[in-house]
Amino acid sequence: MNKLLRFPRLALLLLGATLTLGTSSCSKDDDNNGLNTIGHDESVYMRNMHESMAMMEAMPKTGDPDNDYSSMMIIHHQSAIKNSQEELKSGKSAEMKAMAQSIITKQEAEIRQFQAFLAGHPPRLPAVPEFGALQMMNMMQMQKAVDLRPLTGDPDFDFAQLMVDHHQGAVGNSEALLKFGRENATRALAQQIITDQKMEIKMLQDFLLANKKY
């Protein structure tokens, strides 16, 4: 009787040990996966994006969709320009450096347009709180996406990865403006940003696929 009771217990212990060893082996392989990564705090690109996100969260909101869109897109564009300048300094890919220069040229011009709009357009009533909620939801989704990215330390690859998420945030914000905005000037800017940045997202994704690391 005792032998019969001991055997199942021993078998269960051995089975548990085998499963534990198997799980440990899989976890080690999954964690490593042949990919060298760096901590997010080590990436100047990521630090720039976190700084930008903090500024957007702290930005005073007027409740006027066109004004709040313009103010937030200025901050958002400044982040893209800083990361593009870093890519010009640190990157090695001619393709990504050309992309970075194009982003700087386009978005500096758009910042001037947003600033001119704000200078001649005081906030107007009625407020549209739905726009503000959607705008911040888009930015939080962008931040979550970049925080989930495994960064490689390769400036070209990481620039492309994070700029995809950054552009998708701008597209989401611009689509929200088309839904709630009341001014032709900002609506035209929003549509142009959607068109340009969707095209750039595809180019960035094509680069990532051609140079994939995981």
Residues of the chain above pLDDT 90, percent: 71
Angle between helix 155-180 and helix 44-58 axes, rounded to 10 deg: 20
Q: What is the pLDDT of residue 38?
A: 77
pLDDT (tens, 9 = 90+) of the chain, 214 residues, equals: 443 333 344 333 333 433 333 333 323 333 435 567 877 877 899 999 999 989 999 999 999 999 999 999 999 999 999 999 999 999 999 999 999 999 999 999 999 999 999 999 999 999 999 999 999 898 889 889 988 899 999 999 999 999 999 999 999 999 999 999 999 999 999 999 999 999 999 999 999 999 988 7
- In degrees, to the nearest 5, what angle opens at C-alpha 68 toward C-alphas 64 and 70? 120
**What pLDDT, on the 0 to 100 scale, is given for residue 40?**
81
Burial of 49 (C-beta count, 10 Å sphere; 0-12/13-18/19+): buried
pLDDT confidence of residue 187: 98
Architecture of domain 40-210: Up-down Bundle (1.20)
Residues in the chain: 214
Q: Check residue 37 and give its pLDDT.
A: 82
What is the structure's pLDDT at 48?
A: 92
Per-residue pLDDT reduced to its tens digit, 157-171: 999 999 999 999 999
Q: What is the pLDDT of residue 113?
A: 98
Where do the domains of the chain lie? 1-33, 40-210
**What is the C-alpha separation between 163 and 86, in angstroms, rounded?**
12
